Amino acid sequence: MTHFGQRLAALTGQRGQLCAGVDPHPGLLDAWGLPRDASGLERFALTATEAIAPEVAVLKPQSAFFEAYGAAGIAVLERVVALARQAGTLVLLDVKRGDIGSTMAAYAAAYLADGAPLAADAITVSPYLGFGSLEPTLELARAGGRGVIVLARTSNPEAAGLQNAVSAERTSVAQGIVDAVSARNAGLSPLGDTGVVVGATIGSGELDLSALNGPVLAPGYGAQGATADDLKRLFGAGLSGVLPASSRDILKHGPDPAALRAAVSRAQRELRP
């Protein structure tokens, strides 16, 4: 069994590092001329996935926009996951779950257990009930060769006060999360299976990622203002292990599949070292 880091390194080597989001925001449904209901969601999400998934290494559906439509929306999300798999694409399901004990274990089973309808290659999680609370998810992911991406220093302005706060260990809270993830990835090659979210819009030098040995999901590229040059200044010219995430900057070009693919291609060219 290959672990998530191995599969990610191999596929980004072939398809590039762009992580394309599938975010069926109501405003995007409007822009595509689709109704704000389950039928519009389905047409949007499946059209985007069919066009984009074969072109990228990682597809990131935002679960909340599917959950908003209840059972019908979850059924569409299941189809998105299946379509991406058929295209040979890794699915990073953006769910940002965070809880304790048996509840965290239940979330892990929903998204990472073999045979689960929504089983993804990796999920996002929140460590802000304590990094140790993530243990059921981290254990299940590793046992199944899957990945976990942990929120560390996010791109939203409201996060700075909490994530840059200095802990009892005299490092920032965000740096403590990075260090805990680094410890889990030690010895894994070519890349660990646990990663962190670090926004592309944060200040240079806020975090030391030198020991991480894992993926960095970098939201903020594109619609939130960060450029490819910003990414390279923040993470290094080669963007090693970095997954710049873009959704609206790509999805706004729909519903034409060719235009969606062209938007992906432009982003990939910008991100090349």
Of 60, 96, 232, 252, catalytic = 96
Burial class of 200 by CB neighbour count within 10 A (0 to 12, 13 to 18, 19+): buried
Give the per-residue pLDDT at 167.
86
Give the per-residue pLDDT at 204.
85
Beta bridge pairs of residue 22: 61
Give the per-residue pLDDT at 270.
94
Give the per-residue pLDDT at 47.
98
Q: For residues 108 and 131, give the distance between their C-alpha atoms in angstroms, rounded to a whole number.
A: 15
Q: For residues 209 and 148, give the distance between their C-alpha atoms in angstroms, rounded to a whole number.
A: 17
Structure tokens given for 226: 């960060």
Give the per-residue pLDDT at 224.
77
For the domain 4-271, what is the CATH superfamily, name and number? Aldolase class I (3.20.20.70)
Cβ–Cβ contacts within 10 Å for residue 273, how many?
9
Quote the pTM value: 0.97
Decide if 60 is catalytic. Answer: no
What are the pLDDT tens digits along the chain (273 aa)? 799 999 999 999 999 999 999 999 999 999 999 999 999 999 999 999 999 999 999 999 999 999 999 999 999 999 999 999 999 999 999 999 999 999 999 999 999 999 999 999 999 999 999 999 999 999 999 999 999 999 999 989 899 999 999 988 889 999 999 999 999 999 999 999 999 999 998 888 899 999 999 999 999 898 778 899 999 999 998 899 999 999 999 999 999 999 999 999 999 999 998
Q: What secondary structure letter does DSSP report for 189?
A: S
Enumerate the domain spans of the chain: 4-271
Give the per-residue pLDDT at 225.
82
Structure tokens given for 14: 């072939």
